[in-house]
Structure 1
């Protein structure tokens, strides 16, 4: 009977360092977020001032604007109370982050995300050419 000698292979060392460096190299650069405190430029906007501003911008009579604004505010209030998100351009996207019902009020904490307006210095491509 002959005996054979087993050859042992050395234990492998894990190569975690190379996969970690590859993942780190492909990761995008982190975006710096600047926390800005809101700048209060004047008193809060009341419904009467809102209606007057809409009348001035649209040129429609006040008696025609008031029921539309009332209906719009009612729909927006009901939508927020139901916990639905709003995505209304140019106002932005309103997301509800927390809702709390107390004995005297229904407190709803929201986040409003607005996109920065695009500023272009190029002339309007659809503008009439000078003749």
Structure 2
């Protein structure tokens, strides 16, 4: 009597043939996700300068107002309050983590899309 092999070769469901030897897998290093910063960082000094430029008030008057505003916003976020501040947008705390040196919050900011200029928004030329 002739005997067959004691263990049959594995068969794949796709082609019905035995699979080829697997290539040695090489591990790949996956880096942690990085924050996306599309432009330069805006600091408090630049914010105050922009407020002075847009509003036309003096810097000595704008600085305490901007600092108070930032303080109020920080306290509201610390209390996990949702902020609805048009035209800035809607800010909601998604997650937070207590760290030894402070607290890390992940927030969602939703801003309305700026209005698209339509035919009625055009300014007529003086030559027309």
Taking the aligned partners of 1:109 and 1:71, their CA distance within structure 2 comes to 23
Taking the aligned partners of 1:122 and 1:38, their CA distance within structure 2 comes to 35
Matched residue, 1:46:
43
RMSD over aligned CA atoms reads 2.1
Equivalent pairs, count: 89
**SS of match in other structure, 1:123:** helix
Structure 1 moving runs of 4+ over 4 Å: none
In the TM superposition, residue 50 of structure 1 has moved relative to its aligned partner by: 0.5
In the TM superposition, residue 41 of structure 1 has moved relative to its aligned partner by: 2.1
Please tell me whether residue 67 in structure 1 is matched to residue 94 in structure 2. no
In the TM superposition, residue 38 of structure 1 has moved relative to its aligned partner by: 4.5
Structure with the larger helix share: 1
Q: Which runs of 5+ in 2 are unaligned?
A: 1-34, 122-128
**SS of match in other structure, 1:115:** coil
Deviates more, 1:76-85 or 1:113-122: 113-122
Alignment TM-score, normalising by the size of structure 2: 0.63
**SS of match in other structure, 2:104:** strand
Alignment TM-score, normalising by the size of structure 1: 0.62
Taking the aligned partners of 1:65 and 1:41, their CA distance within structure 2 comes to 25
Q: Which runs of 5+ in 1 are unaligned?
A: 1-36, 125-131
In the TM superposition, residue 105 of structure 1 has moved relative to its aligned partner by: 1.5
With over 3 angstroms needed to count, the CA separation of the structure-2 counterparts of 1:100 and 1:39, relative to structure 1, is closer
In the TM superposition, residue 123 of structure 1 has moved relative to its aligned partner by: 2.7
